[in-house]
Amino acid sequence: MARQLEEQIAGRFAVGRRLRVLDVGMGRGAQALWLARAGHQVTGVEQDAAMIAAAREALAGEPEGIRERMRIVEGDAGATGVHFLPGSFDVVLCHGVLMYVEEPDALLAALARMLAPGGLLSLLVRNGDAPAMRAGLCGDWAEALAAFDTESYRLKRLTATLAGIGAPLHTWYGVRVFTDTAADDAAVPDDLDALLALEDRAGRTDPYRGVAALLHLCGVRG
């Protein structure tokens, strides 16, 4: 996903431009730190105290110049309007958050308002068009069958929502096409570069991206 985001940023903004980035639901801050190291001014929003502590610990180990470029705000993902003015950011990230909020459409609208014209909205969501894949590949037939009746956030609905809030879908990728069944504690494979190359290729190629565990959607503010 980092490769995909880097590709979208490079294709939309001038080389060397320092962007104003908002990372909503930043977790431990890995993505935010990566962007701060790249020279951008990053604001991370997170409400989980343990995640905030981990992000601050990671930030404390960075050089002073990077620490100065990253700000951490404790708050709810849906309350961006309380902390920031509309149009304050060039890039807004919301990765792995939408599936946990009660009103995702309202959150998306709030995020779009944070973008300056031409700004990039980067979303990572569960793929509602392939909810049975992981259980099926793991041989859990009952869970896979039940997943067909699960209410999920599908690509078609997301596309319509993004168009409706003024940040229409520019492009989308699949994430974790072949690796979703790997255990969380699985060892890093020796052929990691080949694996990443395969996932990168599959994530931008039909029909493979359509059955990925996650979708990475990139919308652009009109």
- For the chain, give the secondary structure using H, E and C: CHHHHHHHHHHHCCCCCCCEEEEECCCCCHHHHHHHHCCCEEEEEECCHHHHHHHHHHHHCCCHHHHHCEEEEECCHHHHHHHCCCCCEEEEEEECCHHHCCCHHHHHHHHHHCEEEEEEEEEEEECCCCCCHHHHHCCCHHHHHHHCCCCCCCHHHHHHHHHHCCCCEEEEEEECCCCCCCCCCCCCCCCHHHHHHHHHHHCCCCCHHHHCCEEEEEEECC
Using a cut of 0.95, tell me whether the model's pTM lies above it. Answer: no
Q: Which pLDDT score is estimated for 60? A: 95
Rounded average pLDDT per 10-residue block, the chain, 222 residues: 95 95 96 96 96 96 96 90 94 94 90 97 95 92 91 88 96 96 89 95 97 97 92
